[in-house]
Structure 1
Amino acid sequence: MSYPRSDLFNDSKANSSLVGSIVVKTDSVSFYSFKANSTYVVKSHGPMLLLRQTDDQEGCVEQEPMEILETINKCINKVVVPSGDIIGLKMVAVGVTSHRSSVLAWDRWTGHPLCNVIMRRDNRATEIVNEYLQIYDKYKFQTVCGLPLSPLFSAFKIKWLLKNNAIVKVAYEQGRCYFGTVDTWIVWNLTGGTKDSSNASNTFLMNINTLQWDPKLLKMFGINQSSLPEIRASSQIYGQFADGPLKNIPISGVIGIRQSALVGHRCFRRGITKATLDEGGSVFTVTGENKVFSKNGLLTTIGYHIDTRPVYALEGPITSGGAGIEWMEHITRLKTNKVTHCLKAGKRINNPNSICYIHAINGLYAPHWRPEALGVLVADEFNAEDMVRAAMESVSFQTAEILKAATMDLKIPIDRIKVDGYLADNKFIMESLADFINGKVEVAMCKEMTALGAAMVAGYAPEVNVWNIMCMAEDVSIANYKPTLKADELKKRWFDWNRNINRCYNLVDTGKKSFWESPWKVGGSIACGLVLLGSYLMLKK
């Protein structure tokens, strides 16, 4: 496996330089300025929250694209003075990191968006996926693009737009429509028209062997290559800021938000694994320069592409992280900090085996890939604290089962995982994760791994050369967690989790909307919040 080069690094230039980082998450935007070649944040602004337009009845999850740009500019203006300097240091480059599977269309002549951003969790393309599943096996194209057939990926969302959005369809037929992931939209606007993408590996349209758009997949979806961006590596100059306080400063790094944290953690060796746990989540295990096609439900993807050859990884997107916990908090009107306080204080909370919660409002992602699956809460007795605790444990179980799949695919023991994201601050989730993987969980001292990774790839670009990635030591862990669960108890917990995952399947396969199975006294389908809440209130009485 090759490591990042270090021969072009300019030490004297780095000492007087700043590298910026634009971070666009599904619900917020931030801007950071890092002292080059360090983890030191000189100044930052954010997160500034983004509004979201949702209609869960229709599986619709959208975002207003102009709001993303406006919020980026607000964050930059709060950090960067007109000269582009901060405390005597000069901004020399900026990196961009954003969520990956979301997609939108815009007019190549006017630059105006033709639709809202169709977000990662939008499930309206499920019917299109099901049509393909009538013809192809779920993993038919795995060796081409590394992905299973799923509405998670951009190509299916584009197909849905062409089929259902008249404005997009007309513009496409007239040859004036561009499709792109959020990073492409951002770079195109900030640079005044540069059209490139480094997030192509999550579109279902990129050939993971050639690193180019695959002609057969384009034909299958009916998408012209001219409507898509050029695929490029993450670490190179994409263009310069067209105006504002960063005018003429290059954007020299563009990387997916999950891959950015992979770089931030310095995951440069085969088998190194990191999880980002926030509103959603994902687990990455580096496989090196050799691709590994999973037999256990994981994606084969680009970990990062910052040198001549890309470094590959196995990825497991998590169905629901903090979003599931927040949803349960809303239902119970009880915050996680109160539940963790109860746990610390030794307050009686029912036997963990008595309750299991699987949040699958948008289906199940890795390693199951069942977009139609319904979530379940199963219990013999419970209170509000139990329900929130079960939601927190659900995040740990989802993460752990992906790690298990990676262990089977690589055929090597993986007993250590690095974790970032706001859920890394939740001690209970980290402790239960250590138990469920029966290994070590490390939480880094640096809280901004995603922003750091974007700055690193920008500063590492050959034309910039102010970041020596190769010589950066791994970040110091602020917390380490080790397993405490006994083997027989661990086996029992996994048995219960797997049984309830199967219940998610069975609700769909049998066409049921709820279940009641002895000896479990309570069972409910999470088809929508009102149905679930009604079930809770009725059954608890």
Structure 2
Amino acid sequence: MSDNRIHKLVLDQSTSGTKLLLVGIEENEAKILRRMDRKHTQIFPQDGWVEHDPSEIVKNTKQLIAEMLEATNLSAQDIRSLSITNQRETIVAWNKKTGQPVSNALVWQCNRSNDICKQLIEAGKETEIQRKTGLKIDSYFSGPKIRWLFENSDEMRSLAASGELAIGTMDSWLIWNLTDGEVFATEPSNASRTLLYNIYENSWDAALCDIFLVPPDSLAEIRDSNDSFGHYEGIPIQGVMADSQAALYGQNCFGFGDIKVTMGTGCSVMMQIEERSDLISDNILKTIAFTDNGATDYALEGIIRSCGDTLTWLSSELALFGTIEEGIESAFSVNDNEGVYLVPAQLGLAAPFWDSDIRAAFLGMNRRTGKPHLIRAGFESILFQIRAVIDEIKQVTCLDIPRVKVDGGVTKNNRLMQMLADILGITIEVSCIEELSALGVLMLTSGFDMQKEGKIFNPKSNNLEPHYQQWLEYINKVRDK
């Protein structure tokens, strides 16, 4: 491939796999020229435990870059920059001298630190942590996972004592490996998800580190999201951002009250609140959206553990359908759920319920219940969770939300998107660009805008309202048991 365009690479390291985009920029217009993907192994050692092999992810990353250059007949010198966006709260610990990980990466979905969270809440730590981080004490975030490693790994404690321990989210692990250990750095949108970072002072917090047993010298240097992070084989690493925040940027959500929903393995409902750090809720998080040349934008966020993962579970574990297309056809072969509902707590419930002990359940079944009803209940549970989060955000901000921008793989089904518009009573705009997280971080560093108006779905019916209220009732019943 040889032309006059500027060529840039964007690495999107997600929960299910890693993808690499080659983007060509000419006259401030960008076009995705090629995409390559590679999945990595999902490891489930025990019920509720989720791990990734961090070395496999590094191997996949390097192989993708090599294959992209070979397939496009480009050299490293032809690439202007490499930007990174990544799954957020997943944590890796490694030996600074050898570069070897202490264990598998503990994924954001992993619940092994539930008991630690309960102990900290009972000890009265949540108020201080939420005041500094904008987050709740929950196994979703990195801090409890790190403390679990310290409590269960002799190697972690030994490396910490000798000053040879490194701890980081997936971005800092990748940067370390791509730069051969020369750069150990992260940026605020990732750091703010660890429960170790004061989002108002933009720095690691010594008191928070002490709560989670973390030596401050084991943590990465903080740089701006649009900063430089070293080089990989001569390619400058420029721009790093957590995936959900990158999607917020990619959706052009720059004004107070702009809101987007990213529907991937999990789901992130995020509202731009600019510099308004005074908005507080017990059930909705506050986080750093991004930092750009020293300026910090904040966001409100409701996180949902199981979105696309619910469909994967229905398919792979329950064998209710094969492909997603088959699942969609089956779900919409019936007119409604006929009273069948899913409590989507395969990994516990996050916003706005915050109940890590609750278990998944199908409720309302009878002798006539068949596969289509169960599958439809799975799809509807995704929509109902989003409704619950947006209702909470509206209550916190006292804002009328006229439009919600959505992106992610689950948005490909038009009927489901119409149902989302109906259950929210809000206009839905589905992005015409699939790789918004990747393009968001590229937009931050390059200054161009690829976003165009997406497909519009206006509310047509409120027929789902009784079903939503019934689902909420079932959620509360299961939580009360």
**Fold agreement, TM-score > 0.5:** yes
* Residue type at the aligned position of 2:31: Y
Q: How does 1:456-467 map to 2 (within 5 A)?
A: 456-457=443-444, 460=445, 467=446
CA–CA separation in structure 2 for the residues paired with 1:69 and 1:184: 12
CA drift of 1:490 comes to: 4.5
Task: Specify which of 347, 357, 367 is matched with residue 342 of structure 2.
Answer: 357
Q: How does 1:275-354 map to 2 (within 5 A)?
A: 275-295=261-281, 297-330=283-316, 331-335=318-322, 336-341=324-329, 347-349=333-335, 351-352=336-337, 354=339
SS in 2 for 1:53: coil
CA drift of 1:377 comes to: 1.3
Aligned to 1:126: 114
CA drift of 1:266 comes to: 1.5
- Residues 353 and 226 of structure 1: CA distance in aligned 2, closer, same or farther (over 3 Å): same
Equivalenced residues, count: 470
Structure 1 gaps, min length 5:
1-13, 242-246, 461-466, 508-541
- Residues 388 and 421 of structure 1: CA distance in aligned 2, closer, same or farther (over 3 Å): same
Give me the TM-score of the superposition, normalised by structure 2.
0.93
Aligned to 1:150: 138
CA–CA separation in structure 2 for the residues paired with 1:108 and 1:98: 22
SS in 2 for 1:419: strand
Aligned to 1:398: 385
CA drift of 1:44 comes to: 2.3
SS in 2 for 1:262: helix
- Residues 301 and 340 of structure 1: CA distance in aligned 2, closer, same or farther (over 3 Å): same
CA drift of 1:473 comes to: 6.5
* Residue type at the aligned position of 1:53: I
Measured against aligned partners, the alpha-carbon deviations of 1:97-131 in whole angstroms (never above 9, x if no partner) come to 11110101111111111111011111111111111
CA drift of 1:15 comes to: 6.9
Task: Specify which of 263, 286, 289 is matched with residue 249 of structure 2.
Answer: 263
Task: Specify which of 360, 370, 381 is matched with residue 355 of structure 2.
Answer: 370
* Residue type at the aligned position of 1:52: Q
Aligned to 1:248: 234
* Residue type at the aligned position of 2:243: I
CA drift of 1:485 comes to: 2.1
Q: Which moved more, 1:162-171 or 1:386-395?
A: 162-171
Task: Specify which of 390, 395, 400 is matched with residue 408 of structure 1.
Answer: 395
Task: Specify which of 221, 225, 230 is matched with residue 230 of structure 1.
Answer: 221
CA drift of 1:309 comes to: 1.0
Q: Is the 8 A contact 2:330 2:375 kept in 1?
A: no
Measured against aligned partners, the alpha-carbon deviations of 1:81-105 in whole angstroms (never above 9, x if no partner) come to 499847x993211111111101011
Structure 2 gaps, min length 5:
none
- Residues 369 and 139 of structure 1: CA distance in aligned 2, closer, same or farther (over 3 Å): farther
Q: How does 1:66-85 map to 2 (within 5 A)?
A: 66-81=55-70, 85=74
CA drift of 1:333 comes to: 2.6
Aligned to 1:475: 452
CA–CA separation in structure 1 for the residues paired with 2:22 and 2:69: 9
CA–CA separation in structure 1 for the residues paired with 2:222 and 2:235: 22
- Residues 389 and 292 of structure 1: CA distance in aligned 2, closer, same or farther (over 3 Å): farther
Task: Specify which of 86, 106, 112 is matched with residue 100 of structure 2.
Answer: 112
- Residues 296 and 135 of structure 1: CA distance in aligned 2, closer, same or farther (over 3 Å): closer
- Residues 447 and 134 of structure 1: CA distance in aligned 2, closer, same or farther (over 3 Å): same
Aligned to 1:44: 35
CA drift of 1:270 comes to: 1.1
Give me the TM-score of the superposition, normalised by structure 1.
0.83
* Residue type at the aligned position of 1:80: L
Q: Name the larger-Rg structure.
A: 1
Q: Is the 8 A contact 2:320 2:375 kept in 1?
A: no
SS in 1 for 2:396: helix
CA drift of 1:474 comes to: 3.8
Task: Specify which of 174, 187, 190 is matched with residue 178 of structure 2.
Answer: 190
- Residues 45 and 332 of structure 1: CA distance in aligned 2, closer, same or farther (over 3 Å): closer
CA drift of 1:406 comes to: 1.4
* Residue type at the aligned position of 2:20: F
CA drift of 1:497 comes to: 1.9
Structure scoring higher RCO (CA < 8 A, sep ≥ 6) equals 1
- Residues 369 and 307 of structure 1: CA distance in aligned 2, closer, same or farther (over 3 Å): same
RMSD: 2.2
